[in-house]
Amino acid sequence: MNQEKIVISIDAMGSERGPKAVVDGILQSAEMNPNVEFIVHGDEVSISKLIENSNLQSRCQILNSSDLVSMDDKPSQIVRNGKNTSMWSAIESVKQGKAQVCVSCGNTGALMALSMFRLRRLKGVNRPAIACLWPSVSKLGYNIVLDVGADIKADQDDLFQYAMMGLNYARKGFGIKKPRIGILNVGTEEHKGRSELKLAYDLISSASDKEGFEFVGFVEGSDIPSEEVDIIVTDGFTGNIAIKTAEGTANLISGKMKSAFKTNFFSGLGGLLAASSLIKLKKEIDPRQVNGGIFLGLNGIVIKSHGSADPTGIASAINLGITLAESGFYDSENNAERPT
Amino acid sequence: MNQEKIVISIDAMGSERGPKAVVDGILQSAEMNPNVEFIVHGDEVSISKLIENSNLQSRCQILNSSDLVSMDDKPSQIVRNGKNTSMWSAIESVKQGKAQVCVSCGNTGALMALSMFRLRRLKGVNRPAIACLWPSVSKLGYNIVLDVGADIKADQDDLFQYAMMGLNYARKGFGIKKPRIGILNVGTEEHKGRSELKLAYDLISSASDKEGFEFVGFVEGSDIPSEEVDIIVTDGFTGNIAIKTAEGTANLISGKMKSAFKTNFFSGLGGLLAASSLIKLKKEIDPRQVNGGIFLGLNGIVIKSHGSADPTGIASAINLGITLAESGFYDSENNAERPT
């Protein structure tokens, strides 16, 4: 446990649900974490009103920003002209050492571009990655997948670094002592797949003893939610297709399930009786519970919460940031060096 | 409608469930299609016994093979030494013009390698593709995705050819007059993704008027089961990851649903009452109902049925072959030329 005061910097203006959802999320998290302080960036007047009379008032600083990043803004434009946005300001608090973690629900591309521009990459890291928590049958309830979309390319060295970043994240964020790492491929045989995957196989495999993880080799798309692996390494193109395909599949099934329960009286009644169990199920595979893609490979922790996340989801992203800050995650992240 | 006699050539030895499952599948299909004939390849003694006294006997020829392809056999070995296998023999009937379609449940890699080796690629086709039927919310109940694993690479010309092959398949196999074609990517904006995707975008877009399809541009993983698109074009690496990720997600949800219904008395009762609707749902997203990956870009129709498919699934793959043969699919498949 790190003894430093934990401060979380939050962009209040990025949510599709408006600043109220973000502030409600902060309130939820603040209640669970009485020693944590917050810096909230955005429209000072509306944020002040939202936290009036709450227990947050005494441990929350509001920094006014006159502008905000919209979902349609191009990342390059924000890097050039975004100085007055709440997103920029939120990252700045981390850069200046006033906060350990930045949380934003805003435009992913702009958040990554600004994070790279202001915080810079860790020494030795070529491409930062976005790691997500993937609902799974493991004891933890999810596995770590990276990269899910920071960069559309990754060579063997990038994939090796993703493995090391994921390793540190699994240890510091979730207390997994000896994580199991796999590389996403089209088959589990060693000779399968693209050449950079085979090279990454050798690099990661040879580091397992020294770094204290278990290498499970190649895994397939169907293995992502399995209990045989904790960390799944892939390039950002493939990872992004995979995560969105899973989302589409879950939506397809839940849509079909709803119409199935509407079919006749008995199934409607059945659905009603089963409701509490289905709500429990929904919670288990609910992205809100595991909300928060994390940007790895930067000089600072940046967490991207889903743009449409509700207060519970936003609180969950903030809580993840608090756990990482407490674990000293940031101090130790720059161990992602290639084995010599 | 083609007036030629329809004959389907079937590898009886490729199923994980043994030849009985395959023969039962043929029996199911034969009942639905009284004018179709079959050539069945494999162990003559056991197949003869299985069709004894059935209505199949008069329209089924059995060709004995002394060997079979196992799931672990390497494709290259089968191409060199597989002459006596039932898979080779099944493809040979198509090559010799005795059947229009070959159906096998066996080793996908070996089936593709043998199909390429014996049937050869269509003129102008660089890489054949495997097209699958993806459960969707569209009226048809599924969309077409290709390539899902014939080749791990695809450049812009390959992707263009996949689009043209998918177009012909959608028209001849499913009667979709003006199919909507999309390219799988990490975002829907024109500037996103890998360079070959942007080049394929231009190629496919410029062919839409002449070929009479609608180009919907880039689609994301979450759009694969949508009703906005009929054909989704991607390279075989990405397509394979996507289809297996969807499979893993569906399994995760169905596993969690089972335990949810076990939670307490009410939910158990609810599950029971809802059972008929859930069975209907299961049928709708059941891969058996849409069983059959098809190999496109070859001089002949080859359908890969799932290795663990039951008789209903195998019958469904055979029925797909019959539909394609009746539509004259094979005669018209070689229109996959790049626009000039």
Helix axes A275-284, B265-284, angle to 10 degrees: 70
pLDDT for A284: 61
Spell B268-291 as b/e; 16+ CB within 10 A means b: eebbebbeebbeebeebbbbbbbb
Residue from A183, A184, A273 to probe the interface with B (highest B Cβ count within 10 Å): A273
pLDDT classification of B336: cutoffs 50, 70, 90? very low
Residue from A147, A196, A241 to probe the interface with B (highest B Cβ count within 10 Å): A241
Percent of chain B at pLDDT > 90 equals 65
Check if B71 contacts A (Cβ < 8 Å). no
Over chain A (340 residues), the average pLDDT of each successive run of 10 is 80 93 95 95 95 86 95 93 96 96 94 95 91 90 92 95 95 93 89 90 96 96 95 96 89 77 65 62 56 87 89 92 86 47
Q: Are residues A50 and A120 in the same domain?
A: yes
pLDDT for B180: 98
Q: Are residues B132 and B118 in the same domain?
A: no
Calculated CA dihedral for residues B332, B333, B338, B340, nearest 10 degrees: -10
SS3 per-residue string spanning chain A: CCCCCCEEEEECCCCCCCHHHHHHHHHHHHHHCCCCEEEEEECHHHHHHHHCCCCCHHHEEEEECCECCCCCCCHHHHHHHCCCEHHHHHHHHHHCCCCCEEEECCCHHHHHHHHHHHHCECCCCCCCEEEEEEECCCCCCEEEEECCCCCCCCCHHHHHHHHHHHHHHHHHHHCCCCCEEEEECCCCCCCCCCHHHHHHHHHHHHHHHHHCCEEEEEECHHHCCCCCCCEEECCHHHHHHHHHHHHHHHHHHHHHHHHHHHCCHHHHHHHHHCHHHHHHHHHHCCCCCCCCEEEECECCEEEECCCCCCHHHHHHHHHHHHHHHHCCHHHHCCCCCCCC
A–B interface: beta-carbon pairs under 8 A? 191
pLDDT for A31: 93
Q: Are residues A131 and A277 in the same domain?
A: yes
Residue length of chain A? 340
Question: Per the omega criterion (within 30 degrees of 0), is the bond before A147 cis?
Answer: yes
Q: Are residues B18 and B162 in the same domain?
A: no
Q: Residue A310's domain is classified under what CATH number?
A: 3.40.718.10
Spatial distance between the Cα atoms of A39 and A12, rounded to a whole number of angstroms:
10
pLDDT for A338: 45
CA distance B148 to chain A (A): 10
- Asked if the model's pLDDT at residue B252 lies above 90, the reply is no
Q: A-chain residues within 8 Å CB-CB of B264?
A: 276-277
Of the candidates A290, A307, A327, which is a domain's last residue? Answer: A290
Calculated CA dihedral for residues B246, B181, B236, B297, nearest 10 degrees: 130
pLDDT for B308: 83
Q: Are residues B164 and B18 in the same domain?
A: no
Q: Which of A330, A329, A309 has its CA nearest to residue A28?
A: A309
The answer, yes or no, to whether ipTM is higher than 0.85 is: yes
pLDDT in tens, B37-83: 999 999 999 999 999 878 788 899 999 999 999 989 999 999 999 99
Binary contact (A236, B269; C-beta < 8 A): no
Spatial distance between the Cα atoms of A173 and A321, rounded to a whole number of angstroms:
9
Binary contact (B274, A270; C-beta < 8 A): yes
Q: In the structure, how many helices (H) and strands (E) does chain A have?
A: 12, 11
Q: Are residues B136 and B228 in the same domain?
A: yes
Domains in chain B, number: 2
Q: Are residues B80 and B105 in the same domain?
A: yes
pLDDT for A56: 84
Given a contact cutoff of 8 angstroms between Cβ atoms, the answer to whether A75 and A113 are in contact is yes
- The winner for highest mean pLDDT among B72-81, B241-250, B281-290 is B72-81
pLDDT for A336: 45
Q: Are residues A146 and A273 in the same domain?
A: yes
Check if B45 contacts A (Cβ < 8 Å). no
Tokens of B320: 């797909």
Tokens of A252: 């397809």
Given a contact cutoff of 8 angstroms between Cβ atoms, the answer to whether A142 and A133 are in contact is yes
Q: Are residues B214 and B328 in the same domain?
A: no
pLDDT for A193: 83
pLDDT for B230: 97
Q: Are residues B118 and B157 in the same domain?
A: no
pLDDT in tens, B188-243: 777 778 899 999 999 999 999 999 999 999 999 999 999 999 999 999 999 999 99
- Please report, in angstroms and rounded to a whole number, the separation of the first and last CA atoms in chain B: 31
Q: Are residues A11 and A120 in the same domain?
A: yes
**A91-150 residues touching B, CB cutoff 8 A:** 135-137, 149
Average pLDDT, chain B: 88
Q: B-chain residues within 8 Å CB-CB of A252?
A: 135-137, 225, 285
pLDDT for A190: 74
Check if A74 contacts B (Cβ < 8 Å). no
Of the candidates B253, B269, B290, which is a domain's last residue? Answer: B290
Which of A336-340, B110-114, B116-120, B146-150 is least confident? Answer: A336-340
pLDDT for B290: 55
Q: Are residues B174 and B285 in the same domain?
A: yes
Structural domain range at position A186: 126-290
